Amino acid sequence: MSGLFRLRRQQPVLPEAITLEIAGREQRIVLRGNPQARRYILRVPSDGGAPVLTVPKGGTLATAREFAQRQRGWLAGRLGERPEAVPFAEGGVIPLRGAAYRIVAAGGLRGLVRAEPAPEQEDDKVGRLLVPGAAEHIARKLTDWLKREARRDLERAVAHHAAALGRTPTALTLRDTRSRWGSCTADGRLSFSWRLVLAPPSILDYVAAHEVAHLAEMNHGPRFWAHCRRLAPHTEEARDWLKREGGRLHLYG
């Protein structure tokens, strides 16, 4: 030993995001440092979120920006292909339990949101979501109603699966997370994305079964999956659907 200490090269502190001009518009790009990554990786989430640039160990802000600049053409193409967000506003068509519904301002100052399924004889098979009140309150009223509907569906599904498993959750909460559809804590608290009410009922049922199975196994080992598949035999189909289509649920509202 020479007695000299070699200083470790520290990962530089990166800003949360950078901004580039893409197709004439300012585009935010989120930066994510990853010590395990070997190269810069740029991806465009299907859920409408900002593009994400992974910065490898030893990467710098300057190199990250240069990499993003070189990918501007590819990025413009991917962003152009991505479905646009659908606001909760008059005329918008959104899914509810897997079926299409058009948002309709029902007028009046009072009343509840009402869902009218599409008549069987209609070709387009689009129902109506009648939202009372002024147009500027549609988004809030519809979001609140969807959350109540999601809670009702999830409480029913969780109660069914918990009884079958012989376990009892301690709480059920709703969130709007992009990273996961549900979670379970060690003390039995279950949390779900309210957007599951937009998906087909079998998808919500699977996620409920998945989290209930964690009441018995706080892992993703063989015994956990055995519980999950017993509660929800359609587990594989639901997982495939969420991988393909789940991100689109975040485009609404």
Has residue 100 been placed in a domain? Answer: no
Residue type, 152: R
Has residue 5 been placed in a domain? Answer: no
- Asked if residue 225 and residue 146 are part of one domain, the reply reads yes
- Asked if residue 229 and residue 165 are part of one domain, the reply reads yes
CA dist., res. 213 & res. 148, Å (int):
24
What is the number of structural domains in the chain? 2
- Predicted confidence at residue 2, as pLDDT, reads 47
- Asked if residue 146 and residue 227 are part of one domain, the reply reads yes
Helix (H, G, I), strand (E, B) or coil at 109: coil
Q: At what angle do helices 222-231 and 235-245 cross, to 10 degrees?
A: 90
- Predicted confidence at residue 132, as pLDDT, reads 93
Q: What angle do CA 247, 44, 200 make, to 5 degrees?
A: 10
Helices (H), the chain: 61-70, 72-81, 138-165, 201-213, 222-231, 235-245
Buried/exposed 157-176: b ≥16 CB within 10 Å, e otherwise: bbeebbeebeeebeebebee
Has residue 61 been placed in a domain? Answer: yes
Element (H, E) at 215: none
- Asked if residue 143 and residue 238 are part of one domain, the reply reads yes
Domain with 55 in it: 17-81
Looking at residue 206, which CATH number applies to its domain? 3.30.2010.10
- Asked if residue 52 and residue 147 are part of one domain, the reply reads no
- Asked if residue 146 and residue 52 are part of one domain, the reply reads no
Has residue 247 been placed in a domain? Answer: yes
- Asked if residue 242 and residue 143 are part of one domain, the reply reads yes
- Asked if residue 74 and residue 167 are part of one domain, the reply reads no
Which of 59, 81, 103 marks a domain boundary? 81
Cβ of 55: how many Cβ atoms within 10 Å? 23
Buried/exposed 28-53: b ≥16 CB within 10 Å, e otherwise: ebebeeeeeeeebebebebebeebeb
- Asked if residue 143 and residue 71 are part of one domain, the reply reads no
One pLDDT digit (tens) per residue for the chain, 253 residues: 444 444 455 556 889 999 999 878 899 999 999 999 999 999 988 777 789 999 998 899 999 999 999 999 999 888 888 788 899 999 999 999 999 999 999 887 678 899 999 887 666 789 999 999 888 999 999 999 999 999 999 999 999 999 999 999 999 999 998 889 999 999 999 999 999 999 999 999 999 999 999 999 999 999 999 999 999 999 999 999 999 999 899 999 9
CA dist., res. 90 & res. 163, Å (int):
41
CA dist., res. 29 & res. 50, Å (int):
6
- Asked if residue 140 and residue 77 are part of one domain, the reply reads no
Has residue 108 been placed in a domain? Answer: no
CA dist., res. 111 & res. 183, Å (int):
34
Has residue 63 been placed in a domain? Answer: yes
If we measure between CA atoms, which residue out of 78, 92, 71, 17 comes closest to residue 46? 78
Has residue 218 been placed in a domain? Answer: yes
> Which two tokens mark 74?
């590819």
- Asked if residue 174 and residue 67 are part of one domain, the reply reads no
Long-range contacts of 237-241 (CB under 8 A, 24+ apart): 237/202, 238/202, 238/203, 238/205, 238/206, 238/207, 239/206, 241/199, 241/200, 241/203
- Predicted confidence at residue 3, as pLDDT, reads 47
Which of 34, 52, 81 marks a domain boundary? 81
CB 236 within 8 A of CB 244: no
DSSP bridge pairs for 105 = 131
Has residue 27 been placed in a domain? Answer: yes
Which of 81, 103, 119 marks a domain boundary? 81
- Asked if residue 163 and residue 70 are part of one domain, the reply reads no
